[in-house]
Structures are given as C-alpha cells and as structure tokens.
C-alpha cells in the first residue's frame, strides 16, 4: 500500500477512489477508520471517508490525524487530503487546520492545495477558483448554507485558515512543465509552506502529479490525484498500474435492488425495471407509519420471489406524493422511517442468500451500509459514470452498487449485473 487518503466527506471519498482506480491504483474505500489489520497486500491506495467538512476544526484535525496514523500503520508512504473542488470551508477551517496538522504529521516541509478539476468545470488561474467559468464568489457556492464561499482568491481564503504562509504556484510555472514546476516549488518553499496551484486543463493536473508526487503530503480535490498514479510508477514507487476493472468477481447468490431515492433518475430506473418484469414491492411510507406495512411482511414477500432473478423493493415516488407524505409525517420523520425500514430489510438479506445488492439513494445507501456493517469496500468496475460496483471485504462479503439518486442511465438496474462474474 502506497497512498493513504483522507476525505472530508463520503461522496468525495468515492470520487477520489474512482479517480485513483481509473488511473491504475487498486483502491479500497473505508467509511470511517479502516481496521488496523486490513489486508492491503493487493491494494495500492486506501481512502478513508470522514464526515469532517463542517465539524469544529479541532475535531476535524483529531479525526484526520487518527486516520493518518492508521493509514501509516497500514503502510502508506504518501498521504492525500481530499476536499471539495469548490474548496468548501469557512474562515475557521477546516482545510487549513487539517492540512497544517497533516503537514506536521509527515514531518513538516511544504505541500500544495489544489482543488482544480477542469473536466468538472473547476479551474484555478492566478490563485482564483472559477466554477464553470464564473468566479467562485459569484457562483451558487456564494449562498451555500454551511460553507458560503465569498472570495474566489484561494491564497487569501486559505491564509485566513492557517498560520502557515500560503503562496501561489502560478500558471506560467505549471504550463512550463514538471521540471520548472518542481524547481519553482523547491525555491519558494523556503519561505511559503502551502501553495495554491493554477490549473486550467487536465494536462496541468498531470504536470502537478509528475512534479510533486515525491511530496509526503498532497492536498486537493480528486482532480489533482489524476497525475499521481503515473508519477508513482515513473518513480518506481509502485510496480505497475492496474487497468480499471471491467468485471468484478462476486460471491454467488441472489440479486436485490433497494431504492429509497425519489430523484428523477431513480424513478426512471424503477419504472424501467418494473416494465422489464422485475418482481417488485412498493413501500408506502403512510402504511409503514400506520403499522400496516412492516419489515416482516416485506421479508415474507422476498422469501416468495424466484431465487434466480433480481427483485426490487422501492419507496421511490413522484414529487407530489412525496410532498403529501412529508406534510403528514414531517420531512425528517418520513425520511428516517424509510431509511430505517430499508436498513432493516438490508440487514436480513444476507441470511436469505442475497450477495449482490444495488442501493439507490445517498442517504439510503448510508443507512444500508451501516445496517450491513459494510464499511470497507474495494472499488470495482464503473457501471455508469460515478457509480462503481464495490465489494465489501471486512465483515460481510457482498457486492454492492451504491448509487446517488440522480446517477445512472435508465437501464441501470437491469444492466449492472452483467459486470459481475
């Protein structure tokens, strides 16, 4: 294991894990700290997902250092601190404090802070972050409820969060290529310790990787991880790049789909599955609240389904129906009620022989993963952009596809199985 990554939220961790996998690293993702005895003999990178983006800075520092210690014990020679490509943070942190603490952990020196991700519309020029061509402080991020970004100049933004002197590695040095960039970094790091780095195209991310892969700590968005695997290979830090998998071996067993997302894409996928004849059970929140529909009933229905076909349990509904449910039950109560029920159903699936499970919905996935105790996942083939098959490797052995509500094509629930062997 070479690269230990600490991500400040769960979806960001998945983003990064996918990026590393695409670029050739065999990657494992862990929700919270991975077990200290995790077998990493076939693993190049471990990504730890924290939920530390908007917690108190001191707590974010403690959690990040705890993660760094476990990753170091697992063998990580390099650390990567991952945050959002829109630099989501306040003047109180947490990017500055965590970067500073991790820099101390790796023994000082200097590092970079680069959230650029040109393909996703995040570019940095003269230290200013643009979101789809608009300065950060004019983008929708200016009104973010937790981390409103009112200044596009990341040198200033980061300097307000840390006592370490913040500098800039500007476009000319990046454009000139890896040697020039590395020389600029070496020269400037005698006085400045964290550098915002300009990047307006993928080629710049690869240059940054080639120039700075020797650093014990890199911080940034998932974009800046793009250039690291190839640079690690060049530096003989890894023996080979592993092409992203197109298939994943999974334990034999039944297939199931749990959908708790009401997003448009998921509703389309539910409809396509029903139209294709997938056996389905609709969960009605009001019937659940009234005790008319129960977990035991759902499990009885599951037990009556053919074992050689996938089945679908869903609560997905259109916006009007969701609104009515929320008006009667309250929005949070309705959400928790369904998440809890789908979690309970999920927990009962392994004993029913289910080994291959698709879950639709971000919050729903969180509830299901927690109910199953599936915290550590290897990243497998991407089914549709942003959604890989994963295999749970600590605790339960199961193939899981955890889909954010709006991700995936209409035939997602039908075609995903073809990637498993």
Closer residue to ligand ADP (CB): 21 or 263: 263
Closer residue to ligand ADP (CB): 197 or 325: 325
Closer residue to ligand ADP (CB): 72 or 333: 333
Distances (CA, A) of 1 to 21, 47, 197, 320, 389: 14, 11, 27, 49, 21
Pairing of strands 111-114, 194-197: parallel
Give all strands (DSSP E) within 290-375, no chain letters: 311-314, 354-360
Q: Buried (b) or exposed (e) across 269-281, using 16+ Cβ within 10 A?
A: bbebbeeeebbbb
Those residues whose C-beta lies under 8 Å from the C-beta of residue 296, and which sit 6 or more positions away, are none
In total, the chain counts a number of residues equal to 421
Question: What CA dihedral angle connects 20, 384, 402 and 232, to 10 degrees?
Answer: 0
d(Cα 258, Cα 281) in Å, to the nearest integer?
10
Kindly indicate which of the ranges 52-60, 154-162, 186-194, 322-330 contains the residues binding ligand ADP, using the contact rule CB under 6 A: 322-330
Among 362, 380, 388, 408, binds ligand ADP (CB under 6 A): 362
Q: Does 61 bind ligand ADP (CB under 6 A)?
A: no
The least distance separating ligand ADP from the CB of residue 263, rounded to whole angstroms, comes to 4
What residues from 259 to 298 belong to the interface with ligand ADP (CB under 6 A)? Answer: 260-263, 266, 285
Closer residue to ligand ADP (CB): 201 or 348: 348
Q: Does 343 bind ligand ADP (CB under 6 A)?
A: no
Which residue bears the tokens 């297939």?
255
Q: Does 363 bind ligand ADP (CB under 6 A)?
A: yes
The least distance separating ligand ADP from the CB of residue 20, rounded to whole angstroms, comes to 23
Among 229, 335, 350, 408, binds ligand ADP (CB under 6 A): 335
d(Cα 372, Cα 347) in Å, to the nearest integer?
5
Among 57, 71, 215, 325, binds ligand ADP (CB under 6 A): 325
d(Cα 403, Cα 409) in Å, to the nearest integer?
11
345 touches 299 (CB < 8 A): yes
Long-range contacts of 144-147 (CB under 8 A, 24+ apart): 144/88, 146/53, 146/54, 146/88, 147/53, 147/54, 147/88, 147/89, 147/90
Closest chain position to ligand ADP (CB): 405
What residues from 151 to 190 belong to the interface with ligand ADP (CB under 6 A)? Answer: none
Among 65, 289, 299, 322, binds ligand ADP (CB under 6 A): 322
Closer residue to ligand ADP (CB): 45 or 325: 325
End-to-end C-alpha distance for the chain, whole angstroms: 26
The least distance separating ligand ADP from the CB of residue 358, rounded to whole angstroms, comes to 13
Closer residue to ligand ADP (CB): 299 or 322: 322
Tokens coding 38? 């995790």
Closer residue to ligand ADP (CB): 27 or 364: 364
Element (H, E) at 172: helix 171-175
The least distance separating ligand ADP from the CB of residue 417, rounded to whole angstroms, comes to 21
Kindly indicate which of the ranges 91-99, 163-171, 184-192, 255-263 contains the residues binding ligand ADP, using the contact rule CB under 6 A: 255-263
Site size toward ligand ADP (CB under 6 A) is 21
d(Cα 60, Cα 51) in Å, to the nearest integer?
8
Question: Which residues are at the interface with ligand ADP (CB under 6 A)?
Answer: 260-263, 266, 285, 315, 317, 322, 325-326, 334-335, 338-339, 361-364, 404-405
């Amino acid at each position: 294991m070479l690269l230990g990554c600490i991500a400040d939220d769960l979806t960001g961790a998945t983003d990064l894990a996918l990026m590393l996998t695409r670029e050739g690293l065999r990657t494992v993702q862990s929700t919270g700290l991975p077990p200290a005895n995790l077998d990493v003999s076939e693993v190049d990178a471990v990504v730890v997902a924290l939920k530390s983006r908007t917690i108190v800075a001191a707590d974010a520092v403690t959690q990040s250092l705890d993660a760094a210690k476990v990753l170091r014990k697992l063998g990580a020679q390099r650390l990567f601190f991952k945050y959002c490509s829109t630099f989501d943070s306040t003047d109180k942190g947490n990017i500055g404090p965590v970067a500073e603490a991790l820099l101390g952990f790796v023994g000082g020196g200097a590092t970079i802070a680069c959230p650029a991700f040109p393909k996703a519309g995040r570019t940095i020029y003269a230290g200013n972050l643009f979101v789809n061509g608009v300065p950060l402080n004019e983008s929708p991020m200016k009104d973010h409820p937790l981390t409103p970004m009112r200044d596009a100049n990341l040198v200033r933004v980061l300097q307000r969060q840390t006592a370490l002197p913040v500098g800039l590695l500007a476009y000319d040095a990046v454009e000139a290529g890896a040697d020039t960039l590395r020389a600029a970094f070496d020269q400037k790091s005698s006085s400045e310790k964290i550098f915002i780095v300009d990047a307006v195209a993928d080629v710049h991310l690869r240059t940054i990787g080639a120039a700075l892969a020797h650093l014990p700590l890199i911080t940034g968005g998932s974009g800046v991880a793009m250039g690291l695997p190839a640079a690690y290979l060049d530096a003989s830090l890894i023996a080979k790049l592993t092409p992203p998998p197109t298939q994943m071996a999974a334990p034999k067993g039944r297939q199931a789909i749990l959908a708790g997302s009401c997003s448009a894409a998921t509703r389309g996928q539910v409809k396509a599955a029903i139209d294709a004849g997938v056996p389905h059970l609709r969960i009605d929140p009001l019937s659940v609240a009234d005790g008319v529909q129960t977990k035991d009933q759902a499990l009885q229905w599951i037990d009556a389904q053919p074992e050689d076909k996938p089945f679908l349990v869903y609560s997905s509904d259109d916006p009007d129906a969701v609104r009515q449910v929320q008006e009667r039950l309250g929005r949070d109560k309705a959400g928790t009620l369904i998440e809890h029920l789908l979690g309970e159903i999920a927990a009962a699936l392994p004993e029913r022989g289910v080994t291959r499970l698709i879950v639709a919905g971000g919050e729903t996935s969180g509830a299901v993963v927690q109910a199953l105790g599936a915290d550590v996942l290897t990243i497998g083939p991407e089914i549709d952009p942003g959604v890989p098959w994963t295999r749970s490797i600590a605790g339960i052995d199961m193939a899981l596809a955890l889909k954010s509500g709006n991700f995936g094509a209409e035939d997602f629930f039908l075609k995903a199985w073809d990637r498993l062997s």
